C-alpha cells in the first residue's frame, strides 16, 4: 500500500525519472565518444540511496560495528576497535559532510558512504570518499552506486577533485575508482585515487534531486511496511498469549 503522503503516481514518476537520470561517472574534459562504458553490475535496476542524518547515528554505528576486523582495517586504514568506531560516529559532522546509505527492509544500513568536504577555511574544491558494505550485501555493485551518487553531490557542491585514500590491498575500492576513470597512484602500502569532476550542470542538479527523492520514497515505504509488520507481530503475540491463558484456565 502506498503511503498517502507519496501518491502512487508520484512514486512511479520519481522511479522512472531517477532511472532515466542515473548518472555515468565522467572525468572532466572527456569527450562523449571516449566515455568508458560501465561494466555490467550484479545489481539490476536502480538502487535507492538515501541521505543519512544525525538522528541515525545508531544505524551507522550498528553497521560499522558489524564489520569484521579485516573489513574495519580496510575501511579505516587500521583495525579500529569498538571504541574507535564509536568516536568516529560521534565525531561525524552532518552539517559539513554528506553520508549516504542503502537500507534493507528492516531499515538497517547495509552499505554506507561518507563524502567528506574540506573544513571551513580550506580548499573547498576537494572532497574525500569512503565506503563500507556489509559482508552479506557484497557483489551487488553497491559500492559503485554509492560512488556515483557521491560524484553527483560533489559536483553540485562545486567540488572539482574527488579523492580516495585506501590501502593498496583494498582492491575492491581501488577497482571502483579505476572503473570511474580515476587516476590511482600507489605509494607502498597505501594508494591514492583522484577523479576530476566536471562543473555542475542542469542535468547534474536535476539528477541529484531525482535520486534524492527516489531514495527518500523508498525509505518511507520500507518504514511503513516495517511498522505494519511490527504491529502485526505484536498483535499475534497478544493473541497467542490470550490463547495460552485460556488453555491453562480451561477445566
Q: What is the 3-state secondary structure (H, E, C) of 68-112?
A: CHHHHHHHHCCCCCHHHHHHHHHCCCCCCCEEEEEECCCCCEEEE
Report if residue 250 sits inside a domain. Answer: no
Residues 6+ apart with CB under 8 A from 180: 25, 27, 144, 147, 148, 151, 195
Supply the CATH number for residue 238's domain: 3.40.630.30
54, 91, 118 from 124: Cα distances, Å: 23, 20, 5
Chain CA centroid to CA 144, Å: 10
Report if residue 111 sits inside a domain. Answer: yes
Report if residue 13 sits inside a domain. Answer: yes
Number of structural domains the chain divides into: 1
Which range has the worst mean pLDDT, 30-39, 75-84, 228-237, 239-248? 30-39
Report if residue 79 sits inside a domain. Answer: yes
What b-and-e string marks burial along 176-193, b requiring 16 or more CB atoms within 10 Å of the CB? bbeebbbebeeeeeebbb
Reply yes or no on whether the pLDDT at 137 is more than 60. yes
Residue 119: which pLDDT band, with cuts at 50, 70 and 90?
confident
Which range has the worst mean pLDDT, 90-104, 179-193, 215-229? 215-229
Report if residue 174 sits inside a domain. Answer: yes
- pTM for the model: 0.73
Set of cell numbers at residue 139: 557483489
Dihedral of the alpha carbons of 91, 93, 99, 104, in degrees to the nearest 10: 50
Report if residue 189 sits inside a domain. Answer: yes
Reply yes or no on whether the pLDDT at 67 is more than 90. yes
Report if residue 33 sits inside a domain. Answer: no
Report if residue 210 sits inside a domain. Answer: yes
Reply yes or no on whether the pLDDT at 3 is more than 80. no
Question: Would you tell me how many other CB atoms lie within 10 Å of the CB of residue 217?
Answer: 22
| Host domain of residue 96 | 8-28+42-245
What pLDDT does 37 receive?
Answer: 42
Amino acid at each position: 500500500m502506498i503511503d498517502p503522503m507519496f501518491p502512487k503516481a508520484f512514486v512511479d514518476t520519481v522511479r522512472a525519472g531517477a532511472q532515466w537520470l542515473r548518472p555515468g561517472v565522467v572525468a572532466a574534459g572527456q569527450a562523449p565518444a571516449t566515455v568508458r562504458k560501465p561494466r555490467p553490475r550484479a545489481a539490476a535496476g536502480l538502487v535507492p540511496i538515501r541521505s543519512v542524518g544525525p538522528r541515525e547515528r545508531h544505524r551507522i554505528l550498528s553497521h560499522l560495528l558489524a564489520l569484521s576486523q579485516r573489513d574495519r582495517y580496510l575501511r579505516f586504514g587500521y583495525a579500529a576497535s569498538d571504541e574507535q568506531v564509536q568516536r568516529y560516529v560521534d565525531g561525524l559532522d552532518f552539517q559539513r559532510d554528506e553520508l549516504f546509505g542503502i537500507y534493507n527492509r528492516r531499515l538497517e544500513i547495509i552499505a554506507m558512504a561518507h563524502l567528506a568536504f574540506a573544513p571551513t577555511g580550506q580548499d573547498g574544491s576537494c572532497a574525500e570518499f569512503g565506503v563500507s558494505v556489509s559482508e552479506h550485501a557484497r557483489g551487488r555493485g553497491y559500492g559503485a552506486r554509492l560512488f556515483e551518487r557521491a560524484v553527483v553531490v560533489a559536483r553540485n557542491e562545486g567540488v572539482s577533485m574527488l579523492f580516495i585514500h585506501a590501502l593498496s590491498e583494498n582492491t575492491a575500492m581501488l577497482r571502483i575508482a579505476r572503473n570511474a576513470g580515476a587516476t590511482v597512484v600507489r605509494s607502498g602500502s597505501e594508494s591514492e585515487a583522484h577523479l576530476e569532476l566536471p562543473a555542475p550542470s542542469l542535468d547534474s542538479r536535476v539528477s541529484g534531486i531525482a535520486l534524492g527523492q527516489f531514495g527518500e520514497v523508498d525509505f518511507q515505504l520500507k518504514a511503513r511496511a516495517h511498522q505494519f509488520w511490527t504491529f502485526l507481530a505484536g498483535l499475534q503475540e497478544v493473541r497467542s498469549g490470550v490463547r495460552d491463558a485460556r488453555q491453562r484456565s480451561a477445566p
